[in-house]
């Protein structure tokens, strides 16, 4: 399987910053297994929520909080649950230049068993309707460059013995995302079969900055316009034309 809500509570400003990165950065290609079963459109918003949007100074550390839920409507416990966080892109300041990792001295994620650009959190099972809260550490070195580091997420689990996979926007190239979220006539949609996932979940970012926040405000405003133009979060605003299987 590829590496591996309550409605996503990602702050709009953070989503805007992530959109800046997504315009220029495409993820590395990864082999895909056979097609995953798709979930009903409303369900995938319920799995991963309460994502924090931490900011730190070079040399500092913080926690990235989250909540994982087994939606009641599924009617069965989730088993072999694995939640993945990965730092995957960087938008630097000054210069507003986007780049995929590796970036020298990028922030490091950590939990009780591992640390690095990618960490996973696992549970043997989640009871129907239950929510579990957790966090992973985020630490920057004194040499970490100023800017925004995007963190993509993935959630895998088994439901009644069948494997499912949900991923955030950052796992898909711009061309693949465009094919999955826009019909030929320009109408917004969501074709999970094109993405080969069971659903789409939110991602977040960590902002590394000194005490001077003036530039950060400018980045947020610029990112908001990029967000609208790119349609990076069209999925969270999709309408009746959306579909899980056909676009």
Whether residue 244 is contained in a domain is answered as no
CATH of the domain at 194: 2.60.40.10
The DSSP H or E segment spanning 126 is: strand 118-126
pLDDT digits (tens, 9 = 90+) for 176-216: 999 998 888 888 888 999 999 999 999 999 988 876 554 45
Complete DSSP assignment for 172-227: S-HHHHHHHHB-TTS-B---HHHHTSSEE---EEEEE--S--HHHHHHHHHHHHHH
Task: Provide the domain limits for residue 66.
Answer: 12-237
Domain count, the chain: 1
Lowest mean pLDDT across 9-18, 95-104, 180-189: 9-18
Whether residue 116 is contained in a domain is answered as yes
pTM greater than 0.85: no
CA distances in angstroms from 52 to 49, 134, 152, 161, listed in the order given: 9, 11, 13, 31
Look at residues 236, 242, 238 and name the one whose alpha carbon lies nearest to residue 12: 236
Whether residue 83 is contained in a domain is answered as yes
Residue 100 has pLDDT above 60, yes or no: yes
């Amino acid at each position: 399987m590829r590496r591996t809500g309550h409605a996503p509570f990602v702050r709009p400003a953070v989503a805007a910053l992530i959109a800046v990165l997504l315009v220029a950065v495409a993820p590395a290609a990864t082999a895909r297994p056979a097609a995953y079963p798709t979930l009903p459109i409303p369900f995938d918003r319920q799995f991963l929520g309460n994502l924090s949007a931490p900011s730190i100074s070079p040399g500092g550390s913080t926690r990235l909080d989250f909540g994982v839920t087994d939606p009641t409507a599924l009617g069965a416990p989730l088993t072999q649950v694995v939640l993945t966080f990965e730092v995957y892109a960087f938008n630097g300041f000054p210069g507003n230049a986007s780049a995929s990792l590796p970036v020298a001295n990028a922030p490091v994620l950590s939990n009780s068993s591992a640390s690095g650009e990618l960490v996973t959190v696992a549970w043997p099972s989640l009871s129907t309707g239950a929510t579990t809260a957790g966090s992973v550490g985020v630490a920057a070195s004194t040499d970490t460059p100023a800017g925004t580091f995007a963190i993509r997420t993935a959630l895998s689990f088994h439901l009644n013995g069948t494997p499912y996979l949900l991923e955030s926007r950052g796992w898909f190239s711009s061309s693949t995302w465009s094919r999955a979220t826009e019909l030929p006539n320009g109408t917004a949609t969501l074709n999970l079969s094109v993405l080969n996932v069971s659903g789409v979940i939110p991602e977040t970012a960590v902002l590394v900055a000194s005490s001077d926040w003036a530039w950060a405000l400018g980045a947020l405003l610029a990112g908001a316009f990029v967000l609208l133009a790119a349609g990076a979060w069209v999925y969270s605003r999709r309408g009746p034309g959306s579909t899980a299987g056909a676009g």
